[in-house]
Amino acid sequence: MTSIAIAHMVDTRSMDDGKDPDSDDLDRDRQAPNRTHMTNTNGPMATFKRVALLYMAVLTTASVHAQSPSVYAVAMEYDPLPGYQYFFSRIDAGTGTVAHVAELPVDGFYMGTAFMNYNGNYMFVGRDSADLTFHLYEVDTLGTVLNAIPATNSAGTSTNLLCVFQSRKCPYYYGIRWDSDPLHELVKIDPVLGTATVMASLLMPNQLSQTTYAMDGEDRLYFLEASGLTGYKTLFRADPATGVITATDSMPSPAHLYNLFYDCEADKVFGFYNSTGGFNVQGSEWVEIDQAGAIIHTGTTITAGGDFWTTAFTTLANGNYVQRNTGVSTLHLDPADVVGATFAPTPGPVTAGDHKLYAAVPTSCGYTYACSEETQVVGIGGEVGAWQLFPNPALDQVTVATPAVAVGGIYQLTDLAGRVVTSGRIHGPATVLDVRPLASGAYHLRISIGEVHRTMKLVK
């Protein structure tokens, strides 16, 4: 039987045993056929048996029948023969099928180190299978290694680069290093030379490989340390420019906050808050972290299932991607609803009613944030065919055919720049619009029914 793990870090040694990462202990552990070691944010290393880790799948906005975008991940696979292998893998967002794109020249990789860079490639920290040293790897969607920056610095006191993150302004990478002593260092890494400049030191005992992080608009770094001087997870704030690292002013339940995200458009840091202290996103609350580190509760509960022990890269094109919270059916959002707080599903294999949706929302600067909200789904099933525009293209008039549920809804006709050229209310199954005053070109007709929206394209 083959066991596949997709995780922030999959390695077969303890991070807090004080041993050299290049020792023989790693190789001895790898002979155990049914063991995968992962870090535990509430304590020391835990051992799991044949763990199959989950991920958040996404669905394209184009059509439920179109090819779905892919989630890319670094995956470890164990089989008695040939043993442990590491792959750059593609996960089909529609079916969840894992396909190995290319085998990677590594024999381990670190949790908390994966991200997309500004070139659209994928970055992670792994250990070279030949010389057993750690590198910051850059790979493309074919799994080709484009760059491998050494993740060590002989001038420093630490030997392992455990956590790597990128400045929002892109000229440098930053990292946190740690070896067997209790001293951790915040370093700035030259992306070309790979040299690391120590910015600050912080006394934080072990488990720093658990760190999750987010850069805010001022390039201040927020990170969660799994143990900390207090013995539980603490939210810290760091200024890479000055090297100043401080614990945040208020943190009511630090052990329950994990997976930080930065929305560069809103200039806000978000995260998942799980009151049980678990790692599963299901049941977690989507919260905002203010500049003082306080949790601003949104009351929005993530009900889409999944496990966040993943080092996965989500490819986002235009629009939003969403997974339904129950069953295996999926929804996707109308591209016209990218901007704004309300999301509307286009027709898909779901039933009408209230649904909790998990959405990964792309921003113009290349970041992604996630959210969940309840949406009323209408116009599903037999009513789908009732949404029509004809004739289309139109010359003088166009008829808008809608299902009964749309009566009373508001329509807006906008040009491609988003300017409203006409608007009104849906009074029956057929609404006639006079398009003679309009210039030739493409338009969007948006129909709003409460919190649900439907958009159709019109050509004049």
Q: Are residues 424 and 294 part of one domain?
A: no
- In a domain? residue 126: yes
Higher per-residue pLDDT: 24 or 172: 172
Does residue 404 share a domain with residue 257? no
Number of domains in the chain: 2
pLDDT per position as a tens digit, 373-422: 444 444 333 343 457 788 888 888 998 888 776 788 889 998 877 788 99
Least confident stretch, 80-89, 91-100, 123-132, 160-169: 160-169
Residue 342 resides in a domain: no
pLDDT tens, residue by residue, 180-229: 555 666 677 665 666 667 776 655 544 444 444 455 545 555 555 544 44
Q: Where residue 444 sits, what CATH number does that domain have?
A: 2.60.40.1930
Last residue of a domain, one of 301, 318, 339: 301
Tell me which residue has tokens 């306080």.
294
Residue 320: inside a domain:
no
User: What is the CATH classification number for the domain harbouring 263?
Assistant: 2.120.10
Residues 148 and 267 in one domain: yes
- Name the band, by pLDDT with cuts 50, 70 and 90, for residue 71: low
pLDDT score for 449 = 74
- Strands 145-150, 134-139: pairing is antiparallel
246-273 pLDDT tens trace? 665 444 444 566 555 554 445 566 666 7
Residues 265 and 146 in one domain: yes
Higher pLDDT, 46 or 343: 343
pLDDT at 66: 29
pTM: 0.36
* Same domain (yes/no): 80, 229: yes
**pLDDT given for residue 79 in this prediction:** 65
Does one domain contain both 55 and 197? yes
Instruction: For residues 86 and 189, state if they share a domain.
Output: yes
Kindly state whether residue 310 falls inside one of the protein's structural domains.
Answer: no
Residue-range definition of the domain harbouring residue 276: 3-301
Residues 26-46, mean pLDDT to the nearest whole number: 25
More confident residue, 128 or 373: 128
What is the average per-residue pLDDT within 321-347?
34
Domain final position from 267, 301, 335: 301
pLDDT digits (tens, 9 = 90+) for 135-167: 778 888 888 888 887 765 433 334 444 445 554
pLDDT at 283: 62
Per the model's pLDDT, the better-predicted residue between 333 and 48 turns out to be: 333
What integer best gives the mean pLDDT of the chain? 55
Q: Is 58 part of a structural domain of the chain?
A: yes
Same domain, 297 and 436: no
Q: Which pLDDT value is given to residue 22?
A: 31
- Supply the pLDDT for residue 106: 86
For the residues 294-311, what does the mean pLDDT come to? 49
Please give the structure tokens belonging to residue 5: 């793990």
In the chain, the percentage of residues whose pLDDT exceeds 70 is: 29
| Mean pLDDT of all residues in 38-66 | 22
The model's pLDDT over 231-243, given as tens digits with 9 standing for 90+, comes to 445 566 666 566 5
For residue 295, the model assigns a pLDDT of: 74
Q: Which of 284, 301, 318 is the last residue of a domain?
A: 301
> Quick one: 132 and 249 in the same domain?
yes
Of 317-326, 339-348, 360-369, the least confident: 317-326
